[in-house]
Amino acid sequence: MKKKKASEIEIAETDSMVESPLHYRQGEIEAINAIEAALSADEFRGYLKGNVMKYLWREAHKGGSEDVRKAQWYLNRLVDLDA
């Protein structure tokens, strides 16, 4: 088995922090799914848009490229609502 480079490990850890961070999972349900279930369709769309704006707004001062990837994740989720 090929040993992973440090940069590959860092990318994998960063991706898990964007895609499905442990602190957003409780048992078998993720927070995003609980939030969607609790909100109307319009409210959930607003929630997604707000998160896109939040992560883009702060990326230069806090999370850098990870925040851009988080914004993209929420934007993809928003696009998927219309699919």
Query: Looking at the domain assignment, is residue 7 inside a domain?
Result: no
Query: Looking at the domain assignment, is residue 22 inside a domain?
Result: no
Q: What is the pLDDT of residue 29?
A: 83
Q: What is the pLDDT of residue 21?
A: 64
What's the longest Cα–Cα distance across the chain? 48
Q: Is the pLDDT of residue 82 over 60?
A: yes
Phi and psi dihedrals of 30, rounded to 5? -90, 150
Range of the domain at 76: 40-83
| Residue 71 pLDDT class (50, 70, 90 cuts) | very high
Can you read off the two tokens belonging to residue 30?
Answer: 């993720």
Q: Is the pLDDT of residue 16 over 60?
A: yes
- Tell me how many degrees the CA angle 60-64-66 measures, rounded to the nearest 5: 145
Query: Looking at the domain assignment, is residue 23 inside a domain?
Result: no
DSSP alpha helix (H) spans, the chain: 6-19, 31-38, 41-58, 65-81
Query: Looking at the domain assignment, is residue 18 inside a domain?
Result: no
pLDDT tens digits, 22-70: 655 667 788 899 999 999 999 999 999 999 999 999 999 987 899 999 9
Query: Looking at the domain assignment, is residue 74 inside a domain?
Result: yes
Domain count, the chain: 1
If one compares 53 and 16, the residue with the highest pLDDT of the two is 53
CB 33 within 8 A of CB 42: no
Query: Looking at the domain assignment, is residue 10 inside a domain?
Result: no
Mean pLDDT value of segment 3-21: 52
